Chains A and B, each alone.
Chain A
Amino acid sequence: MSANGVCRARRQFLRNTNIGLAGLALSDLLSREATAANGTSAPHFAPRAKRVIFLFMHGGPSHVDTFDYKPELELRDGMPLPFEKPRIQFARTGDLLKSPWTFRQYGQSGRWVSDLFTNVGQHCDDITFIHSLHGSNEAHGGALLKIHTGTDTFVRPSMGSWISYGLGSENENLPSFVTINPTLGHGGVRNFGSAFLPPIHQATRIGRTRASMKNAKIANTDSRGTSPELQQLQLDLMRSLEYQSNESPLDRDLDARLQSFELAFRMQREAPDLMDLSSETAETLKLYGIDDGPTDNFGRECLLARRMSEAGVRFVQATHNYWDQHNKLKQKHSELAAEVDRPIAGLLTDLKRRGLFEDTLVIWGAEFGRTPTAQGKDGRDHNPHAFTYWMAGGGVKRGFRYGESDEFGFYASHDKVHVHDFHATVLHLLGIDHERLTYRYGGRDFRLTDVEGRVIDDLFA
C-alpha cells in the first residue's frame, strides 16, 4: 500500500469535509423539483417536538383489551350490542365480548391499562391517550393508507414524507425519513412513499415485515470490499474528470451530483455505525429486551429508532405485526404484547434519561382498533370507528387522556379525533401549520390533511 496515496486521499477527504461539505444541506443537493422543498417556510412557529418515532402496530391491536378500559363491556359480556352496527363491516360479529385481560390503574394519573402492557403502564404519567381516533376504512390496506397518507382513495405522500419535506433532516449525512420493517402488503411502499413530493422525501427502508434486525442494513452501504481509500481515490478521479470534460465552473446539477457522491461516501461510513448496537451498554440492551427471546427483534427496532432519532433522522417508523386477531385473540395478543411491551417501555425510559424525551414525539397506534363484539368465540373484527392512539414526549401533556369512545368502545363518541385531525396535530407539534405545508402538483396545491384537519390543542403541554 502506498502511504503517500493514503495520505493524499485523507487530505483530500478532509478538504472535502471542510470546504466542500460544510454548510451543505441535503436540500442543496436536489435539483429541479426538489428546490421547491426550500420554498416551504416550515417550521411555521416554534416546534414543541423536533422528531418523531412512530411505533406502528400493524394489524390493529384491540383498544378495549389494551388502553381503553370498558367496565360496561365486562358487565354486558355475551349480550347484544344495544345499538346499531355500522353500515359497512369487514366481517360479521356477534355479541359483546369482555376483555380476557385484567385492567389496573397506574401512576398518579390513575390511567387504566390492561395486563398486556404492564411495562408501558409504568409510564402512564408521561403519556397522553387519545381514545377517540376514528377513520373510515374497514380493510387493512385502505386503513393503512389512510393513517399513513390521509387518503384511501388517491395516491398521496405519506406523513413522514410531508414532515421530511417540511423540515428536512437534522443530519445531512442521513436520510430524514426511515422506516424499519414495514409491511410491503396493504399499500406497501405507498405508506412510506413520497408520491409527487421530490423522491428524496420517501422513506429509506430497512427490512420488511418481521425481518430479523440482527443484520439489518441500509441498501448499498456495503462497499463490497472496496477500501475507503480506494473509494476516495474514485471520488477524486470522478471530480477531476468531470471538471476536465465539462465547462468550468461546473454547473449546478453536475456539482450537486458530485457532492451527492461525497455525501453517499460519508453516509456509508456513518450508517453501519448507526446500525451497530454493540456500542450500547449491556444495561441498555437489557432495557430494550434485546437478546431476550420474544423482545429481541422489536427491542432492536426500538433501539435503532432511538439511535436514528439521536443522530438526527426526523421521522422514524418502527413497525410490529401482526395484530389481526379475528380469532385466537387471547393467545396471539398475549404473544404480540409480550414482544413489544418491554421494548417500548425501554425506549421511553431511555429517551428520558438521555434528555431526548422533551423534543421527541413518540406515537403508538395502528390502522384501526377492534370491535367490542365477538367474531367467533375468541376474536374481534376490524374497527375503524374508534381506536386508541397514544403520544408521549415532545410537547404533549403528561398523564392525560383525551376523547372517549362509547361505553363499549365501538364508536368514538366524545371529542372525536379524525385521522386528519391526528395528522394536523402531529404537524403542529413539529411547528408546521398543516394548512400551509403545501405542494403544487398537477395544477393545484396539496396538503397532508386535504381540506380537513383540526389541531387538537388540548393535547399540548
Chain B
Amino acid sequence: MVRLAVVSSTLCVVTATGNDPTSDEVEFFESRIRPVLHEHCFSCHSAQAKLVRGGLLLDSAVGLSNGGDTGPAVVPGKPNESLLISALRHEAMEMPPDGRLSDAIIHDFKRWISMGAVDPRDDDPASDKSRMGRISPEASRDHWAFQPLTAPVVPPNENQTWAQNPIDSFVWETLSRKNWAPAEQADKYTLIRRATFDLIGLPPTRQEIESFLADDSPTAFQRVIERLLASPHYGERWGRHWLDLVRYADTNGADENHNMPNAWRYRDWVIRSLNRDLPLTDFITQQLAGDLLPVPDDEEQAGDLITATGMLVVGPKMLAEQDKEKMRIDIIDEQIDTVSRTMLGMTIACARCHDHKFDPITTEDYYALAGIFASTRTMENEEFVSKWMERPLPSSRISLRIEQHRKKVAKEQEHLDQMVERANEQLLRSENRTDLPKVPEKHYDEQTKKTIEALKASIDKLKKATPKHHMAMAVEEKKATDLPVHIRGNHLTKTETPIPRGVPTRLNQVAPLGKIAKSASGRLELARWLTSSSQPLTARVMANRLWMWHFGQPLMRSPSNFGLQASRPLHKDLLDWLAAELLRSDGSLKQIHRRIMLSRTYQMSSRCQSHSQQDPTNEFLWRQNRRRLEVEPLRDAILCAGDAMDRRFEGAPVNDGTARRTVYLSINRAALNELFSTFDYVEPANHIEQRPVTTVPGQALYLLNSQLVHQQAQRIADKFIESTSNPHDRSERLWMHLNGRRPSKQDIQRMSQFIHEAVALAEGDARVKERTAWASLCRTLIAGSGFCYVR
C-alpha cells in the first residue's frame, strides 16, 4: 500500500513531462537503448528474471519510470541526476555488476535521458513481480490452523473397549479407517522407565520400580505420574524443552562471545514456573511483558516478573557491529523470529526483506510487529561493544544493606574530612601562614600523610564493597516508535510512512489485537493477544509440542511452522481437542501430561512391528515410538548409574567436570561443549523446534572412550563387585540397574561369557582383571540401546 503511493506519485511526474515522442526519439530508443537493456539488464531487472533485483524492472516503460528500491532510475531531461547514469558509470552503484559498459554506450544513455527518456513501450507488466510471492486469499482464508479453536466432537466408543479417554477415541477412529489395531500395552518396567524419563528426565530407581510392580491397583500408574509431576526435577526436564525454543545460553556467541552472567536467573525462572504449573497464559505473558504487569507486593514475585522477560534478551547479538542501527534491527529481528516461531508457529521473520513467500505476512506486517520491539529497550548501551539490558531485582534486605553501607562510607568520609581539616589547621599554625598552599597534602608531616592515605584507601575499598542488587537480563519500555518498512530489509533504504505497531493483518482477523496506547510499546497487548482464547495458534502450537515431547514426534510434523505450507495433519481433531483441553484446564501443562499419559495411546508398546512397512514413521499412532535419550537425560542417567549425581537445584551455570544435572551446565555458544554438539544439541543460538536424532561415530566414541563413561562405569563395577561375589547375581543386578528391567536368560549367559573372555584378555592381578572386565561390561551396557533409549 505504502509502496503503491510512492509509485503513483512518480508516475505523475513522468506523465507531466511527456509529450508525444518524435519518430527520431523512438528510433533512438529502439536502436541504442532497448538492445542494451535487453542484453545487459534483463537477467536481473525484468519480469522474466528469476529474482528481480532491487525492485527495479527495466522491461517496461512503467517499470523504468517507477524505478526501484532506491528511487526512480531516470529523471527525464537530467542525466546527471539520473541514478541509471550514476550506476552505469559505476558511481552510486555498479551496474552491470560484472563490468562497466563502454563510454559510448553510457553516452547514448545520457543523450537519451537528455532528450526526455522517451520510452515507447506500451506493454504493462501489471504483475508487480518485485513483490515476490502472492498468497491466494482463499488459501489464507481457509487455512486450517487459522480457524477458531472449537473442541471437536469425540468419536463414540462403540464396540470397543480399548479407549480409556478421548485421546484414544480419536486414535482408534483413525486406526479403524486403516483397519489397524493398536499395539498392546507396554509392560510395567517399560512404563515406569518411559514415564520417569518423560517427566523428570532421570531413570527410575530400583525401589520405584519394585513398588510400581508390587502395586496391583488400577491407579498404580496414575500414582507414579502424580509422584513425578510433584517432583522438583519435573521443571528441570520440561524447562529444558522450553529453553530449546527460546535459544537459551550462558554466553552471547555471535561476534563477541561475552559471558551472560545473569542468564541463569531466567533459566531458573522457567524451571520454577513449570514446577509451579504456572498457567500457559501467565507463562507466556510474563516472558513478553512481565515488567508491564501490576507489581506484586511480594519481592520475589515482583523480581520474577522482571526475570521472565529475560526471554527477549538472551538471544545472540552482534555486539561489536559498528553500524548500530543495523545491530538494533538485527536484534529486533531475532526477537521476532524467536517469539513468532515459539508461540505462534509462524515464520514471520521471513517478511523482513520481502512479503512472505508462503504465508499471508507482508513486510508491513513485519514492521508493525517490529515496532513493538523497537519500542522496547533490550540494550543498556550501544557503545563500541554494546551491552544488553540488566535490571536489578527488588530486595528490601539488600536495599537496607546498601543504605547501611552508604552510611558507613559517609561516616568514614566525615572522619577523613575532619582529619584533613585538623591537618590543615596544624599546617597553618606551624608554618605561620594565613592561606593554605596549593597542594596542602605535600606539606603534611610524614605521619599525617600516611594516616590520611591509609584512610583514603580504606574508604575506596569500602566503597567497592557496597552490596549490590541481584541483576537479571530484562527489558523495559522505551519511547514508543512506529517503524517504516525497510526496503528489502535494508535499514538504509526505508519507506516514508511508519507502520502502526500491531500484529499481522491476517492474524488480526482471526483474533483482534487490543488497542495499543500511544506511549506503550504494545508488548503487553501482544502477550494478551498471543494468549487470548480466541487466537487459536498458540494453544495448537503448544499442544502439538507437548505431544511431541511425550511421543518423540509431533502430531503436526513441522512444530514451529503452522503456516500455509503445513497441510492439515492426519490427527487434526486430536490436536484441536488437546489444544482445547489446554485452554479448558486453564493452561495447566501438568493436566495435559495426565491426560496424555493416562491414555492407552501413550501406554502402547513400542516393540510392535505390524505396520512398520506401510507406516514407518508411525503417523497413524499404532504404537509408541522408541526414542533415544537427548544429551541431558543421557548424561544425567550415566551420573545416576554411577550414583554420582549432584541433585542440587538451580544456580549459576557450572562446567562439565561437575556432577550437576546437565541442564545446569554452562551453554557457551561460541565454544559449545562437544558433548552437546555430538549428541544433537548443536546450535544454541537458534530456536530449536525439535532436536534431530542422528547417529554419528562421535557418539559411539564418546560412549566407548569418554572420561565420564569410564569413571562412572568403574564406580558401578566396583559397587557391584563389592555387593555380591556371585557373577550370575551380579550381572543380573547390573542389568537391572542400568536397563531398568530384568535380563533374559540369554542376556545373562552372554554377559557371563563376556566376563570370562574379558578377564582372559585383561592384564594384572586377579582383582585388577575382574575390575577391568566388569567396568568394560558396564560401558558396553551403557552404550547399548537398553540404556540410551526409552522404549
- Shortest distance in angstroms between A64's beta carbon and chain B's nearest beta carbon? 22
A80 on the interface (CB 8 Å rule)? no
Contact with B along A186-223 (1 / 0, CB 8 A): 11111001111011101011001000000000011111
B98 on the interface (CB 8 Å rule)? yes
Q: Are B758 and A241 in contact (CB under 8 A)?
A: no
Contact with B along A223-240 (1 / 0, CB 8 A): 110110111011001101
Complexed CA–CA distance, A257 and B783 (Å) = 10
Q: Are A220 and B322 in contact (CB under 8 A)?
A: no
B685 on the interface (CB 8 Å rule)? yes
Q: Are B699 and A244 in contact (CB under 8 A)?
A: no
- Shortest distance in angstroms between B93's beta carbon and chain A's nearest beta carbon? 11
A415 on the interface (CB 8 Å rule)? yes
- Shortest distance in angstroms between B781's beta carbon and chain A's nearest beta carbon? 8
- Given contacts A5-B760, A260-B699, whether A189 and B677 have CB atoms under 8 Å apart is yes
A-B residue pairs, 5 tightest by C-beta: A141-B255, A188-B670, A264-B700, A2-B760, A184-B671
**Which residues of the partner chain A approach B612 to less than 8 Å between Cβ atoms?**
251
Q: Are A189 and B97 in contact (CB under 8 A)?
A: no
**Which residues of the partner chain A approach B784 to less than 8 Å between Cβ atoms?**
238, 241-242
B747 on the interface (CB 8 Å rule)? yes
Contact with B along A163-192 (1 / 0, CB 8 A): 000000000000000000000111111100
- Given contacts A237-B750, A260-B696, whether A227 and B255 have CB atoms under 8 Å apart is no
Q: Are A245 and B744 in contact (CB under 8 A)?
A: yes
Complexed CA–CA distance, A216 and B710 (Å) = 21
A268 on the interface (CB 8 Å rule)? yes
**Which residues of the partner chain A approach B253 to less than 8 Å between Cβ atoms?**
187-188, 190
Q: Are A5 and B761 in contact (CB under 8 A)?
A: yes
- Given contacts A234-B776, A244-B747, whether A137 and B321 have CB atoms under 8 Å apart is yes
Query: Across the two chains, which residue of chain A brings its CB closest to B680?
Result: A199
B565 on the interface (CB 8 Å rule)? yes
- Given contacts A184-B670, A253-B695, whether A138 and B683 have CB atoms under 8 Å apart is no
Contacts A145-B255, A189-B672, A199-B678 aside, 9 further interface pairs with beta carbons under 8 A come to A5-B761, A31-B695, A184-B257, A188-B670, A244-B747, A251-B612, A256-B695, A265-B700, A443-B347
B18 on the interface (CB 8 Å rule)? no
Q: Are A88 and B357 in contact (CB under 8 A)?
A: no
A331 on the interface (CB 8 Å rule)? no
- Shortest distance in angstroms between A373's beta carbon and chain B's nearest beta carbon? 16
Contact of A141 among B254, B672, B704, B763 (CB under 8 A): B254
Contact of B671 among A138, A189, A240 (CB under 8 A): A189
Q: Are A223 and B705 in contact (CB under 8 A)?
A: yes
Q: Are A223 and B254 in contact (CB under 8 A)?
A: no
Q: Are A142 and B318 in contact (CB under 8 A)?
A: yes
The B contact surface, by secondary structure, is loop
Task: Identify which of residues 764-791 in chain B touch chain A, using a CB-to-CB cut-off of 8 Å.
Answer: 772, 776-777, 779-780, 783-786
A459 on the interface (CB 8 Å rule)? no
Q: Are A220 and B704 in contact (CB under 8 A)?
A: yes
Complexed CA–CA distance, A264 and B320 (Å) = 40
B607 on the interface (CB 8 Å rule)? yes
Complexed CA–CA distance, A257 and B744 (Å) = 22
**Which residues of the partner chain B approach A145 to less than 8 Å between Cβ atoms?**
254-255
**Which residues of the partner chain B approach A90 to less than 8 Å between Cβ atoms?**
322
**Which residues of the partner chain B approach A342 to less than 8 Å between Cβ atoms?**
none
Q: Are A198 and B318 in contact (CB under 8 A)?
A: no
**Which residues of the partner chain B approach A29 to less than 8 Å between Cβ atoms?**
695-697
Could you jot down 7 A-B contacts, CB within 8 Å?
A34-B694, A238-B783, A242-B784, A244-B746, A247-B607, A257-B785, A260-B700
Q: Are B358 and A220 in contact (CB under 8 A)?
A: no
- Shortest distance in angstroms between A430's beta carbon and chain B's nearest beta carbon? 22
Complexed CA–CA distance, A135 and B680 (Å) = 32
Complexed CA–CA distance, A184 and B256 (Å) = 10
B702 on the interface (CB 8 Å rule)? yes
- Given contacts A219-B698, A260-B697, whether A139 and B704 have CB atoms under 8 Å apart is no
Complexed CA–CA distance, A46 and B563 (Å) = 39
Q: Are B779 and A234 in contact (CB under 8 A)?
A: yes
- Given contacts A138-B322, A444-B350, whether A454 and B98 have CB atoms under 8 Å apart is yes
**Which residues of the partner chain B approach A2 to less than 8 Å between Cβ atoms?**
757, 760-761
**Which residues of the partner chain B approach A256 to less than 8 Å between Cβ atoms?**
695
- Given contacts A442-B560, A444-B358, whether A5 and B320 have CB atoms under 8 Å apart is no
B754 on the interface (CB 8 Å rule)? yes
Contact of A230 among B560, B671, B672, B776 (CB under 8 A): B776
Contact with A along B95-129 (1 / 0, CB 8 A): 00111000000000000000000000000000000
- List A residues at the B interface (Cβ < 8 Å): 1-2, 5-6, 29-34, 87-90, 137-142, 144-145, 152-153, 155, 184-190, 193-196, 198-200, 202, 204-205, 208, 219-224, 226-227, 229-231, 233-234, 237-238, 240-242, 244-247, 251, 253-254, 256-257, 260-261, 263-265, 267-268, 415-416, 442-444, 451, 454
Q: Are A230 and B696 in contact (CB under 8 A)?
A: no
Query: Across the two chains, which residue of chain A brings its CB closest to B353?
Result: A451
Task: Identify which of residues 655-696 in chain B touch chain A, using a CB-to-CB cut-off of 8 Å.
Answer: 668-672, 674, 677-678, 680, 682-683, 685-686, 689, 692-696
- Shortest distance in angstroms between B748's beta carbon and chain A's nearest beta carbon? 11
Complexed CA–CA distance, A30 and B699 (Å) = 12
Q: Are A443 and B683 in contact (CB under 8 A)?
A: no
Q: Are A189 and B670 in contact (CB under 8 A)?
A: yes
Query: Across the two chains, which residue of chain B brings its CB closest to A29?
Result: B695
Q: Are B686 and A195 in contact (CB under 8 A)?
A: yes
**Which residues of the partner chain A approach B363 to less than 8 Å between Cβ atoms?**
none
Contact of B694 among A30, A140, A190, A244 (CB under 8 A): A30
Contact of B693 among A5, A6, A31 (CB under 8 A): A31
Contact of A193 among B99, B683, B744 (CB under 8 A): B683
Q: Are B780 and A234 in contact (CB under 8 A)?
A: yes
Contact of B697 among A89, A138, A194, A267 (CB under 8 A): A267
Contact of A32 among B671, B683, B693 (CB under 8 A): B693
B51 on the interface (CB 8 Å rule)? yes
Query: Across the two chains, which residue of chain B brings its CB closest to A28?
Result: B695
Complexed CA–CA distance, A205 and B671 (Å) = 11
Q: Are A185 and B318 in contact (CB under 8 A)?
A: no
Q: Are B750 and A245 in contact (CB under 8 A)?
A: no
Complexed CA–CA distance, A222 and B71 (Å) = 63
Query: Across the two chains, which residue of chain B brings its CB closest to A234?
Result: B780
- Shortest distance in angstroms between A134's beta carbon and chain B's nearest beta carbon? 11
**Which residues of the partner chain B approach A87 to less than 8 Å between Cβ atoms?**
323
- Shortest distance in angstroms between A101's beta carbon and chain B's nearest beta carbon? 29
**Which residues of the partner chain B approach A185 to less than 8 Å between Cβ atoms?**
256-257, 670
**Which residues of the partner chain A approach B678 to less than 8 Å between Cβ atoms?**
199
Query: Across the two chains, which residue of chain A brings its CB closest to B51?
Result: A451
B762 on the interface (CB 8 Å rule)? yes
Complexed CA–CA distance, A6 and B760 (Å) = 10
Q: Are A264 and B701 in contact (CB under 8 A)?
A: yes
B362 on the interface (CB 8 Å rule)? no
Complexed CA–CA distance, A230 and B779 (Å) = 12
B421 on the interface (CB 8 Å rule)? no
Query: Across the two chains, which residue of chain A brings its CB closest to B357?
Result: A444
Query: Across the two chains, which residue of chain B brings its CB closest to A204?
Result: B698
Query: Across the two chains, which residue of chain B brings its CB closest to A139?
Result: B320
**Which residues of the partner chain A approach B758 to less than 8 Å between Cβ atoms?**
230, 233
Complexed CA–CA distance, A226 and B683 (Å) = 33
Complexed CA–CA distance, A251 and B710 (Å) = 29
- Given contacts A141-B255, A199-B677, A199-B680, whether A33 and B694 have CB atoms under 8 Å apart is yes
**Which residues of the partner chain B approach A267 to less than 8 Å between Cβ atoms?**
697, 701
Complexed CA–CA distance, A142 and B253 (Å) = 11
B94 on the interface (CB 8 Å rule)? yes
Contact with A along B351-367 (1 / 0, CB 8 A): 00000011000000000
Query: Across the two chains, which residue of chain B brings its CB closest to A205?
Result: B674
Contact of B682 among A202, A208, A454 (CB under 8 A): A202
Complexed CA–CA distance, A1 and B761 (Å) = 5
Q: Are A221 and B677 in contact (CB under 8 A)?
A: no
Complexed CA–CA distance, A415 and B316 (Å) = 35
B179 on the interface (CB 8 Å rule)? no
Query: Across the two chains, which residue of chain B brings its CB closest to A451?
Result: B51
- Given contacts A139-B255, A193-B683, whether A220 and B320 have CB atoms under 8 Å apart is no
